[in-house]
Structure 1
Amino acid sequence: MHEFGKSIIIFLDELRRSIKWLAFLVVAVTAALFLVSGDLLAFFRDHLDEKLHFFTVAGPFLAHVKVALFAALYLLMPLCMFILWKALGKPFAVTGKRLFVYVFFTCLLFYSGTLFCYLVTLPFGIKFLLSFQTEDLQAIISISRFVNFVTLFILAFGLVFELPVFMVFTVQVKLLTKRFYEKNRRYAILAIAILAAMLTPTPDVFNMALMGVPLYFLYEAGILLIRFLLPDTSASVAGDQGP
């Protein structure tokens, strides 16, 4: 436990060194992308067969800022992942080629998750929500709420799709073991169901499944990757005391 606490301190210290200039870069890229934020907003509106409205004077301006910020984070995600993995790798001696592999596959899964959300989950979710409209009950959609909904939802999908990489990492650095993940599948299913209920746009089973099923397959893919990449990892750790 003492070693784990020491590793956390090293990780946070390494992260602190890079976070300031990363924040400056995010602000700079956001400012640049603000110039095309109108086109980006129109790109998101492709899934919405409705007009957007605003209810405060600053509403449209803030919506464009949020879209530009989302685009900046989306474009800078490889750099963000490099900084994160560099900080994570320092206390666990993950450097060089291994560090590059973690960054590469984390970014690959992140962008795969965001595309899956934009092309599959988001259209179904929005269509379901708007299906309750009638002639007497018409949607008046706030541009601010719409931007918040779409951008946060896409980012959430991208982040949860990175699950297999972090599973492999925890086993490689001996924080957890392959046996831990194999023994706790039922708890993983419960956690995935709760996460899907929180992150999907509607509470119906169909839309929850659009996130939950791929996420469970990613969990199983993580176990398979651990078996293939780390076949000799069998050391017991504190976290392997599953029921």
Structure 2
Amino acid sequence: MSDPEKSKEDELAGTEQPFVQHLIELRDRLLYSCYGVGIVLVVLFFYPGPSRLYDLLAMPLVKALPEGSKMIAVGVVSPFLVPIKVSVLVAVGIALPWILYQIWAFVAPGLYKHERRLVLPLVTASTILFYLGTAFCYFFVFGQAFPAIQRLAPHSVAVTPDIEAYLDFVITMFLAFGVAFEVPVIVVILARMGLVTVAQLKSWRAYFLVGAAGVAGLVTPPDPVSMLALLLPMYMLYEVGIWSAQIFIKHTKAPDEEAKASEVQ
């Protein structure tokens, strides 16, 4: 048996488990994730509370409304249910690192050493990038888009947004910006799997820019500031992804790939 094949077996030695044990492990990890979300949710119910959380979420829009204007609740139970939904979503967002850790703890024993060197940094980076995307949307995009939209509203229209419609809009925007900020991770995965090469990624810059412009035009409010606020970070993150892919490909090679590279040299 060759040394690379022996090293592969050594990496996973003792990690084989019966199928039932895998199911038990999966159940435990899911329960741990739910416990983490539940603890955060209980804390949020006491401080700052569901109503205060919704007020914080609605702050960018409320600031842009005409003086004395407020949001409205069309549904009978919306004033109660919508803040609860916000609390659950915030709890999941805060507990996201814990949830991802449980996923990592479940799959890590079945990964080779070189695969662990790839997965763990990508999981960490994807979490941070998602947080950055939502924060960028909340603090910058909303602060620029909502005043611009109000300035374009006809004077004969009383702007009183519904709280549930606003929550749906915010979730869509957070997901759009959160996923858009994952571009470097997606690029690295595609390159590491061999589906594309770094040279191809560099040659596709213009196509990516056009596609990103189309996505930005579809998911953002109809103002140029919001569109550019999504388009420019996506393109810059694409460049970061190309640079990162070269590093990951170099440092996460399998033992047999490293052996072949040394033979070529």
In the superposition, the TM-score normalised over structure 2's length comes to: 0.70
For the residues of structure 2 that align with 1:19 and 1:95, how far apart are their CA atoms?
23
After superposition, residues 15-94 of structure 1 pair within 5 angstroms as 22=33, 26=37, 29-30=40-41, 33-35=44-46, 36-48=49-61, 49=63, 50=65, 51-82=70-101, 93=112
Change (3 A) 1:155 1:70: farther
1:145 equivalent in alignment to 2:158: no
Q: Which amino acid aligns with 1:78?
A: P
Q: Which amino acid aligns with 2:56?
A: F
Change (3 A) 1:19 1:128: farther
Verify the 8 A CA contact 1:41 1:67 in the aligned structure 2. yes
For the residues of structure 2 that align with 1:190 and 1:88, how far apart are their CA atoms?
37
For the residues of structure 2 that align with 1:163 and 1:23, how far apart are their CA atoms?
28
Verify the 8 A CA contact 1:124 1:207 in the aligned structure 2. yes
Taking CA–CA contacts closer than 8 Å with sequence separation of 6 or more, which of the two structures ends up with the larger relative contact order? 2
Q: Which amino acid aligns with 2:224?
A: V
Change (3 A) 1:39 1:99: same
Cα RMSD after superposing both structures: 3.2
Tell me how far 1:135 sits from its aligned partner: 4.1
Unaligned runs of 5+ in 1: 1-12, 236-243
Tell me how far 1:67 sits from its aligned partner: 0.8
Q: Which has the larger radius of gyration?
A: 2
Tell me how far 1:84 sits from its aligned partner: 5.9
Verify the 8 A CA contact 1:106 1:162 in the aligned structure 2. yes
Deviates more, 1:148-157 or 1:215-224: 148-157
In the superposition, the TM-score normalised over structure 1's length comes to: 0.75
Unaligned runs of 5+ in 2: 1-21, 258-265
Verify the 8 A CA contact 2:37 2:91 in the aligned structure 1. yes
Change (3 A) 1:21 1:64: same
Structure 1 match to 2:206: 186
1:173-222 Cα shifts (integer Å, max 9, x gaps): 3233223322322331222112212221x223332111011101100111
Change (3 A) 1:228 1:128: same
Structure 2 match to 1:126: 146
After superposition, residues 190-201 of structure 1 pair within 5 angstroms as 190-200=210-220
Q: How many residues align?
A: 222
Change (3 A) 1:90 1:219: farther
Percent identical across equivalent pairs? 25
